[in-house]
Structure 1
Amino acid sequence: MNPSLKAIALLSTALLTACTSTEDKVKDLLQRHMDAFVFVEGGSFMMGNPGLGWALGADAYPAHKVTLDSFSIQKYEVTQGDMDLFMEVTGYTSNYELYKQTRDMAPDRFSKELPAVVTWDDAMAFCNWIGISTKKTIGLPTEAQWEYAARSRGKMYRFATDTGEAVADINMAPASKLDLINPKSLPHPPGHFPANPLGLYDMSGNAIEWVSDNYQPDFYLYSPEYNPKGPAKGKEHDPAQTNIHPQKVLRGGRFYDFWGNTTVSRMSGPKNLLGLDTGFRCMKKD
C-alpha cells in the first residue's frame, strides 16, 4: 500500500476507534444516571425548621405544610468526570468567567471522582442534557423535593444520614478548614458514607447542592402548599454589580462544616458563580 494511503487508513481507524470509545462512554454515563434515580412517593410534610433546637438562619422559618407529587431523584451527586464528558461531547462551556483559572488554582478539587464544581446554569444544562438524551423530563429538584427526599419523605430527621443523627467520620464528614486560595480539604467521592433510609447519599455534609428555586429569604412566609417552585424572582445583589446574577437556592451543607449540615439549612448564591463547595444531583418527573 502507498505509504500516504496507509497513513490515512491508520488515521481513519484511530479516529473511528476514538469516536466509538466516546459513544460508549456517553452510553455508559446515560445508563448509570438513569439507573441512579430513586422513586420518591409524594405526600405531605412540614418543610423548614421545626424548632427543637435546630438552630439555623431565619430563612429556614417558619415550618409550613407542603404537599408534593411523586418524583425521582438521583442517589448520588454528579461527578466531575461525568460533567467533563458532557462538556467534551456537547461543546458546553461554563458560564463562570474564571472557570479555567479556578480549575488551575484547585486541580485536586476538580478530580473526576469528586462532586462536580458548577454554576447553577452548568448543573441545569447537564440535567437537561440527560433528559433530552433519554427523552425524559429531567432537571434540578425543587428545594421542597430536595428536603422531602433528604428527610426520607419528610420525617423529623435533622440530618440526611442512615440514622437521622450525625456522627463524625461514621456517617458524615467532620468539620474541616477550607482554604479558598489553596484548598486543603475536599469533599468525598459520592457514596462514601451510608445512605439515608431512602437510599440517597451525601445529602448532608458533602457538596452543597444547587436546586431549581430562586432565592428570597422570606419565601417560607408565603410558599404555596402544593408543589412549590420558589419565588418568581431571586434576590438581587448590588445593582451596580451587573455581572452578578440573581440568587438561587443551595441545600445540603458543606464538607468543611458539621452542625450546619442539617436537612433544613438553606444557602443562596448567584446563579453564574461557582464555589469549590458546590455540587448537584438531578430530578426526574414521574
Structure 2
Amino acid sequence: MKTKSILYSFICLSVLASCTSKPIQNSHQSPQEKNLTKMVWIKGGEFAMGTSDPSFADAQPIHRVKVNGFWMDEHEVTNAEFERFVKATGYQTVAERTLDPKDFPGVDPKALVPGSAVFTPPDHAVPLDQPLAWWTYVAGANWQHPFGPESQNKANEPVVHVSYTDAEAYAKWAGKRLPTEAEWEYAARAGQTGQKYYWGNELKPGGKWVANIFQGEFPQKNSLEDGFKGIAPVKSFPPNAFGLYDMDGNVWEWCSDFYRPDYYAQSPSVNPKGPADSYDPDEPGTVKRVQRGGSFLCSDQYCIRYRAGSRGKGEINSGSNNLGFRCVSDKAP
C-alpha cells in the first residue's frame, strides 16, 4: 500500500517561505531541570530489520543490523514538554509562520494563512485512494490549537502538527537527537523477531487493544473500541518489554533518516544512519524523512503501517494532527 506524505497535497499552503527557524537560545538547564520526559536505557544489540510482508516493498530486504546502546524517551514528547521549549527559546513552528506569496505563484494571497492538516472524517464511505476526502487544511491549526483556533491542546497528549524541522529543533534544545530508523525499530521490537506486530502476532491479545489505532469503518465511522476517538494521553497503553510506550499507533514519529525506498538493499550492517539524500519516486524532488509507528488513523483497511518493520515518510516541513516524535540520546540524562 502506497502512503504519500499526508500534507503534500497542501504543500502550497503549508510550507514556509523560508525554512530558517528562529534561533535556539542557549540554556544552561539540565534535562531534569527542564522537566523533560523520563528516558529508558536501550542496550545495544543485533536484530533482523525490515519485513517480508509484500505490502511493504520499501522495507525489504530483511537484513541484519547492529546498533549501539542509547537512551530513548519512554513516551512521545508531550504538549507540556514542547511548551517549555517554546517558552525558553521563542521558537515558532512551521505551521505558525507567515507565508510569502512570492513562494506560492498562482495561489490567492488571501489563502496563504498559517495552518496545518487536520483529520476530518466524512459522513459517508469514500474511496480509500483519495486521502483529501478526510484531510482538511485548517487555518490556525498548530501544536497549540490542534483542530483550529478555537481548540486547545492537552498537556499530557503528544505534541502534533510538528514538522521534522520543528522536532529537530526541540531535540537540539533538549540536548538530545531524533532516533535513527534502525534505533527506532530495534527499540520497538524489544528483543522480539518474526512477529506480525511489535506486540505479538494477535491484533487484540487477550481480546484487548494494546495500541491506539482506528477501529470501525475507515474513515467515516470510528467505533471507539479502544476508548479513544483520536490521540490518547501518553502511557494509556501497556509498555513494551523495554519499557517504552506507544511505539505503535497514537501518532507517527519522526526519525532522522532521509527516506529512500531502495535503502535497505545497501544499508550498512552497523549503526546505519540512512542514505545521504532523499528520493521518493511518488514525489520526486520532495525532501522526505522517515516516519515510524503509524497513528490513531491506521487500521486493517487503510495504512496498516503499525505492522512490524513497516515504514512511513513525510515532507520535512509538513505536519498534521497525527504526527509527533520522541527523542534519543547517547549520554545518560
Distance in 2 of aligned mates of 1:67 and 1:27:
28
Deviation of 1:26 (Å): 9.3
Deviation of 1:90 (Å): 0.7
> 1:208: which partner in 2?
252
Paired residue secondary structure (1:249): strand
Deviation of 1:82 (Å): 1.6
> 2:179: which partner in 1?
141
Aligned-partner residue type, residue 209 of structure 2: I
- Structure 1 residue ranges without an equivalent (≥5): 1-22, 132-137, 240-244
After superposition, the CA RMSD in angstroms is 2.7
> 1:30: which partner in 2?
34
Deviation of 1:80 (Å): 1.7
> 1:223: which partner in 2?
267
Aligned-partner residue type, residue 287 of structure 2: P
Matched, 1:64 2:69: no
Paired residue secondary structure (2:88): helix
> 1:134: which partner in 2?
none
Specify whether residues 105 and 128 from structure 1 end up closer, same or farther in structure 2 by C-alpha distance, changes over 3 A only.
closer
Alignment check: 8 A CA contact 2:35 2:81 kept? no
Cα offsets for 1:134-190 (capped at 9, x unmatched): xxxx100000000000000353343333x56431753123424458xxxx9411111
> 1:14: which partner in 2?
none
Distance in 2 of aligned mates of 1:159 and 1:55:
15
Paired residue secondary structure (2:47): strand
Distance in 2 of aligned mates of 1:71 and 1:190:
21
Aligned-partner residue type, residue 193 of structure 2: K
Deviation of 1:234 (Å): 1.2
Cα offsets for 1:45-92 (capped at 9, x unmatched): 11000x3xx453210111011111111111100112221221122101
> 2:170: which partner in 1?
126
Matched, 1:283 2:325: no
Paired residue secondary structure (1:186): coil
Deviation of 1:41 (Å): 1.0
Cα offsets for 1:180-201 (capped at 9, x unmatched): xxxx941111111101111111
- Structure 2 residue ranges without an equivalent (≥5): 1-26, 98-113, 116-138, 221-227
Matches within 5 A, 1:33-52: 33=37, 36-49=38-51, 51=52
TM-score scaled by structure 2? 0.66
- The number of equivalent residue pairs is 242
Q: By percentage of residues, which structure has more helix?
A: 1
Specify whether residues 29 and 256 from structure 1 end up closer, same or farther in structure 2 by C-alpha distance, changes over 3 A only.
farther
TM-score scaled by structure 1? 0.76
Matches within 5 A, 1:116-265: 116-117=159-160, 118-131=162-175, 138-153=176-191, 155-161=193-199, 163=200, 165-167=202-204, 170-176=209-215, 177=218, 185-235=229-279, 237-239=283-285, 246-259=287-300, 260=304, 261-265=306-310
Alignment check: 8 A CA contact 1:119 1:274 kept? yes
Q: Quick check: which has more Rg, 1 or 2?
A: 1
The percent of aligned pairs where both chains have the same amino acid is: 33
Alignment check: 8 A CA contact 2:289 2:315 kept? yes
Deviation of 1:32 (Å): 4.0
Distance in 1 of aligned mates of 2:201 and 2:44:
20
Distance in 2 of aligned mates of 1:39 and 1:105:
32
Aligned-partner residue type, residue 34 of structure 2: L
Deviation of 1:27 (Å): 7.2
Alignment check: 8 A CA contact 1:29 1:82 kept? no
Deviation of 1:214 (Å): 0.3
Matched, 1:273 2:318: yes
